[in-house]
Amino acid sequence: MTTHVPQALLDAPLSRERGPASLQRQLHDRLKHAILGATLAPGTRLPGSRALAEALGISRNTVTAVYDLLAAEGYLLPDRQGTRVAALTRPARTARTAQGKPVQHAAPAAPPAIARRLSPIQSEPAQTDGDAALRPGVPALAQFPLAEWRRALDRAMGRAGPSTLGYGNPLGEPALRRSIARHLSVARGVRCEAEQVVVTEGAMEALALCARLLTNPGDTVWVEDPGYRGARTAMHAADLQIVPMRVDAEGLCVRESDWAARPPRLIYATPSHQYPSGAVMSAARRLDLIAQAQRHGAWIIEDDYDSEFRHAGEPIGAMQGLVAQAPVLYVGTFSKTMFPSLRLGFLVLPEALAARLQAPLGQLLRGGHRHEQLALGDFIESGAFGRHLGRMRRLYRERQVALREALSRHLRVPHAIDGGHCGMHLTVRLPGEYTDARIAAAALRHGMAPAALSSFALQPSADDNGLVLGYGNTPAERFEALVKKLSQLARAAAADAV
């Protein structure tokens, strides 16, 4: 039986300029579009390869190759009588203008549906390259010893063989896990063996893992309020019920009645340097929290994100090391001590959990980033990490003092400074008429990115108005001018509000 050649396949000549391979591709595309666009309806018989080749003036081999490919892709069904178009469910077609652009409807289409659990996740200002002055959370990028890091990477690559190109241990390179365990026990008083350490993609992955490994959807998590927005995001993404817990000068503030009213499965805290207020959780509160968590079967996530940089007094040890077998998952990051794009952090599991979670972690994680991990282990063991920390501690201390001086001289609005004994930021509280969100938005237009204190709060109170000023990546000589400008912006914000 001969089948005529459908007009849709003859509409335009095929271009011969790029040779037979291109002819094949053009014919394949033409047939495919005709099938997907329903010009060739399901069940339509196609002409034989000889007839189509003659009609298009191309070789029969080209047509046969295209039919074979379309049959392998499932668009055509060869049978004893020839070749038919397969029955396919076609995607809805977007209306297009004569120029081929999608038609704009007057009413915008409904946004695509995404998981309901993501709806409470607020949009945040885009974290770009961290160059804006006073942006919290960014370390002194220009001071990082890149040459030394490159040498560590070179050594790691030099020692690498084919086996290090495989996935690697899902929990991280054993050498790095050993280095982290040693560093934490000396620098932070954390009680752990390398087997308890899981290398993660920054603290953020560690927080997400805590939620994924220890909770079921709908479980309750207590989070500090105001607190780290990334922690809230991780908890929302795990479908947890978030209970905001106020923070005062002694850190996370829990009343006896809270344990009965909304018993948590997880508690997120930054005991050594509350983010963003800078409060240090008192020993009494730490011990009480541990004891109550033990009693109620809750786990505490201790996010120890920047306490390597302590500026005054003795180092404050980690809560994890306070008592043996504490129900604490210790989370840390190299985003501050090294640099954020490294995306390496860690989770220290309590001993019993580490054993229990070996198998699920082995299935959930894939290892990888092995050369960076090996280089980081080398960087720590060679002493380069310790030297860098020492230099940065001195630098941040100087910047912190200089920022305080600039604030006391040039911030001409009533204010109170919180914390400042650790890390890379100061929190400046302002009276309510100096609306922090307005000041922060205006500051962005002047190359500054202080964060509005209210943006860290889940249930903002009158107290949660102020600015979180990062001094990690801003040289001290700029503070005077920056604070003068902030002062003007604060006064303008208050005047506009009247």
Ligand X SMILES: Cc1ncc(COP(=O)(O)O)c(C=O)c1O
Q: Segment near ligand X (CB under 6 A), from 98-106, 242-250, 333-341, 431-439? A: 333-341
């709060």: which residue's tokens?
457
Please state the closest distance from residue 129 (CB atom) to ligand X, in A: 14
Shortest distance, position 345 Cβ to ligand X, whole Å: 4
Minimum CB–partner distance for residue 251 and ligand X (Å): 13
Positions in 460-489 near ligand X (CB under 6 A): none
Q: Which of 335, 337, 454, 455 binds ligand X (CB under 6 A)?
A: 335
Residue 137 touches ligand X, criterion: CB under 6 A:
yes
Helices (H) and strands (E) in the chain, counts: 14, 15
Q: Site residues for ligand X, window 364-393 (CB under 6 A)? A: none
Which of 75, 268, 305, 471 lies at the binding interface for ligand X (CB under 6 A)?
Answer: 305
Which of residues 75 and 228 has its CB atom nearest to ligand X in the complex? 228
Residue number with CB closer to ligand X (83 or 200) = 200
Q: 224 or 436, CB closer to ligand X?
A: 224
Q: Which of 67, 75, 222, 275 binds ligand X (CB under 6 A)?
A: 275
Site residues for ligand X, 193-252, by CB under 6 A, read 202-204, 228, 230
Cβ distance to ligand X smaller for residue 345 or 350: 345
DSSP code for 258 = H
Please identify, using beta-carbon distances, which residue of 63 and 347 lies nearer to ligand X: 347
**Whose Cβ is closer to ligand X: residue 137's or residue 264's?**
137
Shortest distance, CB of residue 230 to ligand X, whole angstroms?
6
Sign of CA dihedral 346, 204, 366, 151: negative
Cα radius of gyration (the chain): 31
Phi-psi label, residue 349: left if phi above 0, alpha if psi -120 to 50, beta otherwise: beta
Binding flag, residue 140, ligand X (CB under 6 A): no
Closer residue to ligand X (CB): 230 or 264: 230
Distance in Å, CB of 212 to ligand X, minimum: 15
Is there binding between residue 340 and ligand X (CB under 6 A)?
A: yes
Closest approach of Cβ 307 to ligand X, in Å? 11
CB of 243 to ligand X, least distance (A): 18
> Does position 346 bind ligand X by CB under 6 A?
no
Match 């030099």 to its residue by tokens: 158
Query: Is position 333 an interface residue for ligand X (rule: CB under 6 A)?
Result: yes
Q: Which is nearer to ligand X, 201 or 239 (CB)?
A: 201
Cα–Cα distance measured from residue 465 to residue 487, given in angstroms and rounded to the nearest whole number: 15
- Say what the alpha-carbon torsion angle 293, 299, 300, 301 is, to the nearest 10 degrees: 180
Q: Which is nearer to ligand X, 222 or 275 (CB)?
A: 275
With respect to ligand X, which residue has the nearer C-beta, 24 or 333?
Answer: 333
Q: Which two tokens stand for residue 483?
A: 């604070």
DSSP 229-245: HHHHHHHHHTTPEEEEE
48 vs 230 by CB, closer to ligand X = 230
Tokens of 378: 């080398």
Shortest Cβ distance from residue 232 to ligand X (Å)? 11
C-beta of 124: minimal distance to ligand X in Å? Answer: 11
Write the CB contacts of 86 (distance below 8 Å, at least 6 apart in sequence): 35, 42, 74, 75, 76, 77
Residue nearest to ligand X as judged by C-beta position: 202
Beta-bridge partners for 199 = 346
149, 128, 451, 124: which is closest to 276 by C-alpha?
451
User: Scanning residues 285 to 304, which ones bind ligand X (CB under 6 A)?
Assistant: 303
Q: Should residue 345 be labelled a site residue for ligand X when binding is judged by CB under 6 A?
A: yes
Site for ligand X in 57-116 (CB under 6 A): none
| Among positions 83, 233, 270, 454, the unique one binding ligand X when judged by CB under 6 A | 270
Q: Residue 48, interface with ligand X (CB under 6 A)?
A: no
- Which residues in this chain contact ligand X in the complex, by CB under 6 A? 137, 202-204, 228, 230, 270, 275, 303, 305, 333, 335, 340, 345
